[in-house]
A and B are shown apart, each in its own frame.
Chain A
Amino acid sequence: MPTVKGDGMRGLAVFISDIRNCKSKEAEIKRINKELANIRSKFKGDKTLDGYQKKKYVCKLLFIFLLGHDIDFGHMEAVNLLSSNRYTEKQIGYLFISVLIGANNDLMKLVIQAIRNDLAGRNPIHITLALQCVANIGSREMAEGLSVDIPKLLVSGDTIDSVKQSAALTLLRLLRSSPDSIPMGEWMSRIIHLLNDQHMGVVTAAASLIENLVKKNPEEYKGCVSLAVSRLSRIVTSSYTDLQDYTYYFVPAPWLSVKLLRLLQNYPPPEDPAVKTRLSECLETILNKAQEPPKSKKVQHSNAKNAVLFEAINLIIHMDSDPNLLVRACNQLGQFLQHRETNLRYLALESMCLLATSEFSHEAVKKHQETVITALKTERDVSVRQRAVDLLYAMCDRTNAEEIVGEMLEYLESADYSIREEMVLKVAILAEKYAVDYTWYVDVILNLIRIAGDYVSEEVWYRVIQIVINRDDVQGYAAKTVFEALQAPACHENMVKVGGYILGEFGNLIAGDPRSGSAVQFQLLHSKYHLCSPATRGLLLSAYIKFINLFPEIKHIIQDVLRSDNNMRNADVELQQRSIEYLQLSSITTADVLATVLEEMPPFPERESSILAKLKKKKPSSVPEGSEQKETTASKIPAVQMSNNVDIAPPTSINLMSQADELVSFSEAPPPSVFTFDSGPAPSAGGQSITLQGFDVGESSTDDFVDQGSPQGGSASVDLLGLGSPTQPTAPSVGSGGLLDMFDTLTSHSSAPATNGIDLGGLSGGAEEAFRKFICKNNGVLFENDLLQIGVKSEYREDLGRLWVFYGNKTTFQLNAFLVDVSTPGNLSESLSIQQKPVGGEVEAGAQVKQQFNMACVQEFAEAPVMTIQFLYSGAQQKISLKLPVVLNKYITPAEMDANTFFTRWKALNSPSQECQQIIKATSPIDHEQVKAKLIGFSVSVLEKVDPNAENFVSAGILYTRNQQVGILLRLEPNKQAQMYRLTVRASRDKVAKILCDLMQTQL
């Protein structure tokens, strides 16, 4: 038995020895149970235990607990130890409490009382114990109970250093666990000055606390930047002897340095030139030191030194402003890529990923491509290889995409199973983003399926289909390639899916060659049929019916297949139904009808790649926001836009009614319409059926079979909407929302009491200006005087809006007979239906009441509702009249489109009533970013690369009203010299352009 330190507890040591000598688990449990019984009887016994005995037994219980056994008694004895005057008893008591008492324990009140006593005492060593206990438990109750005592200790002049250290970190713990329980106080203003403290330990502890406060409120603690920079500067320029025991293996204060460097990452580069220069010097010094010969061969020296270096590089990347530093950082990391220490190679790969996203260092990172590829192939540790994959992904651009994708594909054949799926996603994204030639893209994806079919998720093969459908230059090639790939004796089911879909759509493009004639294609697909899952078979059946349309000459062969018992009487009801319906469809319809039903799929609306969304979900950190934006704009695929709902499955191209006779109606239906800004009514909005290419889908049993496997069930109808009527690029939001239900009930009593004709001159002072503020924003203060503050919050979705008004009583008296009335001037009530929730008769002193308004836009409107607030304040009647900030542009949803589409549509809206143009004098200096923010606030998109002049803005949106959807196009041309704007709005419905133009004009 080794020596027991201090005075130790011999009984405890004996017990531990006994446990260790137990030969079996059973023996151990037996010994423990014996001990537990013994302790229990001692605690229950008549003989009062002295402090030492209590301490010993409590410690034994703790040991038993740490062995993994449950302890359900002894807590009270431990709490008793807290009030002991003997330090060691107190200490064991606190340890037991820290480890064993959960935050919700009944004894917590007693514990907090004991802690408060120790904090109030004068003994620093007791104070420290109490603080450590608080830091270890950190419960809300503690935060509430001790929220005053701890900050006081931290800034009080007579607290000794070590207590200050503990107080800082204890406070940090409480701020983290229950931030709202700690009252902000005077201590907060003094806290940043702890960065100047003499004692390095205090600074080290305080730096963590300050970083937490800064994260919540950077503006308030801005002063810490210069303090941190000067402290850092003193450290990095000191010699290693200056800091004595805070030098760690010849590295001056590495922990504090890292904390300071992290603190600075919460701010942009310093504004003060002197501070900025000083910081740059620090960073350069750190980079220089990395080149100096090591002062020690010990790994601790190099770890500590490099820890500071990596944190400095993080800061350099964060500031992203000094190309020289970024390139130096990159070169330094390049050296580490070949370092013999695995840890350094790992970290270098990780940091380089970030550097690759900065425009200043992207090229410098690319120089290391070969090394990274070698790492991918030769590293023995999968976590390092993973980093190499991440870096290759981050450094990829148009110039090296083919090579990187090639290498990744090659590596995929032997890659670890754990990283395959992610690699597949990454390869698919890179291939799509940087495809110059889409035949290459198709090759890559088909290779992916061939090499790692099991890891190719739905998103990946959905995406290749979306792209092939949207790009007619690649369709023939895709058909040919997939036809060849299917020749392989064993091919992955995903390949069959892609093959079925693509040949069904575009098989005719390769049917001219007798080697891939119609019958050959069919036989090839059908040879896989029996090996596939029901979902794939359903897809193949859809391909077959498309074949009947494309290749009438093999109609009879296919009909035989559909008619076979294996299909028509399949146990799977979906297959059965498809077989029967498709057979009927092919038998009773004319060729024209068939051709219309099985029309080639319309292009998919452009949206964010669903693969990217999946990768983000899987690994949020691996898709740096900045890089992605940069890459997206560089991408050749037009406007890969963000959208809320991204899991879009390609539907099985036909979605039809079960009953063939219903199909008759559609032969008169118009051909699928491409989106134009015609002023005719848009596809039936709000009905429960969805119009797809001119005929009703209704209850869709066959529709979108593939989607059943997609993770977002229930999105089927939404997807269809997105496909069938490209007028609604953001359609997915339709289906989700209690809002719809709410407005269903609303229509019945939408004719709210309307007292028309309020005198607008009667508006309260400032009402008009306040109203205008809300044109481009949704939240803010609408009105304020000495009695009342009125705030507004609102949200809109398509033609529905919700607005909350908050009435805050600023006085110390109750406001009585509080009454709010909303009126609609002119015939506004026909255009905007408003439903108002009642608001109470009184507003208590200092209280705030909330009122909700629901507003549906029926058709365009120019006026705003007027809200009259009346109440009694100390007997006197008060009246306030305000315009409720509801304006037409709130009902716009931004729309994305490329230059071609934009100009086609722009030209189509050429009648004078559809356009409104105004020349406006700028009220403030023209600032590109501000104007952009305004436009976004105005709810239209800001389209990049549409107007050749980058100064000009081009925007689009769809105005949703209950009656129809109106396409909105907008151009804004600033003239900086003249400080003027020319604003042109075109809309597919008369009057709308004028109203929007008038609204926007007030904002410039």
Chain B
Amino acid sequence: MMQFMLLFSRQGKLRLQKWYAAHQDKMKKKITRELVTLVLSRKPKMCSFLEWKDLKIVYKRYASLYFCCAIEPEDNELLTLEVIHRYVELLDKYFGSVCELDIIFNFEKAYFMLDELLLGGEVQETSKKNVLKAIAAQDLLQEEETPQGFFEDHGLG
């Protein structure tokens, strides 16, 4: 089972965090700090896996973003790399060549998409088509609803 997933930038800014096991907020911050430092200090050609406490860390860098997952000892490291890749593919497909800014400005979408791919720390749906279909269905529902806040946001409300 995946314990958590962190997305952070090369500067160490946390962009997304998903915790599949319960921790206190303080603990979450501590773990995040520790792992961000650990992963950022590694050199490019190094192995993508490392032991950390009694978990395994699997990480990969895409452009300016690091995707970092903690899995349990019996979990499969290589396949976790591909969970990350599938997630990146989904974001890419949805946003159209995704960049860090997309995730910053549409963080809620990034969360929704992750919930479709992984649930409770386990892979739920690996078909790209099915996940995108589910997200598209959500967007469709959005468009049916009148964007009634539109005027207010422009100071016309």
Contact = CB atoms under 8 A, between A and B. Distances in A.
B128 interface: yes
Given A6-B142, A13-B105, A307 B125 contact: no
Interface string B111-137: 110010001111111111110001001
B149 A201 contact: no
Given A53-B149, A342-B46, A383-B49, A169 B81 contact: no
Given A169-B120, A169-B122, A306-B78, A2 B147 contact: no
Interface of A: 1-2, 4-11, 13-14, 16, 20, 50, 52-53, 56, 59, 62-63, 66, 68, 70, 86-88, 91-92, 95, 99, 103, 125, 128, 131-132, 135-136, 138, 162, 165-166, 169-170, 172-173, 176-177, 200-201, 204-205, 208, 245-246, 248, 253-256, 258-259, 262, 300, 303-304, 306-307, 310-311, 342-343, 345-347, 380-381, 383-384, 386, 621
A311 B78 CA distance: 10
Given A87-B145, A347-B77, A162 B125 contact: yes
Nearest to B42: A381
A176 B22 CA distance: 12
Contacts of A208: 1, 122-123
Contacts of A307: 76-79, 82
A172 B120 contact: yes
B81 A87 contact: no
B130 A248 contact: no
The 9 A-B pairs with the shortest beta carbon distances in the complex, nearest first, are A173-B120, A307-B78, A52-B149, A307-B79, A10-B153, A245-B127, A169-B119, A87-B141, A208-B122
B143 A6 contact: yes
A52 B148 contact: yes
A128 B76 CA distance: 27
Contacts, number: 196
Contacts of A6: 109, 139, 142-143
A383 B127 CA distance: 33
Contacts of B78: 303-304, 306-307, 310, 343, 347
A343 B49 contact: yes
Nearest to B102: A2
B101 to A, nearest CB: 5
Interface string B83-102: 00110000000110001011
Nearest to B101: A2
A581 B134 CA distance: 84
A346 B49 contact: yes
Contacts of B147: 7, 52
B104 interface: yes
Contact of B104 (A20, A165, A170, A347): A20
Given A68-B14, A303-B78, A347-B77, A255 B50 contact: no
B48 interface: yes
Interface in B17-32: 17, 22, 25, 29
Nearest to A55: B149
13 contacts: A13-B105, A52-B149, A70-B25, A88-B145, A95-B112, A125-B141, A135-B120, A162-B125, A245-B129, A248-B126, A342-B46, A343-B77, A621-B73
Given A10-B153, A262-B74, A87 B47 contact: no
A66 B107 contact: yes
Instruction: Tell me the dominant secondary structure on chain A's binding face.
Output: helix
A248 B81 CA distance: 13
A286 to B, nearest CB: 14
A128 B82 CA distance: 25
Nearest to A99: B111
A125 B79 contact: no
A162 B108 contact: no
Contacts of B121: 173
B13 to A, nearest CB: 9
A91 B145 CA distance: 13
Nearest to A169: B119
Contacts of B143: 6-7
Contact of B130 (A56, A92, A245): A245
A10 B148 CA distance: 12
Contacts of B106: 4-5, 8
Nearest to B133: A162
A4 B82 contact: no
A200 B111 CA distance: 23
A380 B46 contact: yes
A380 B119 CA distance: 36
A16 B124 contact: no
A204 B108 contact: no
A485 B59 CA distance: 47
Contacts of B51: 383, 386
Nearest to A139: B22
A138 B22 contact: yes
A304 B49 CA distance: 16
A314 to B, nearest CB: 8
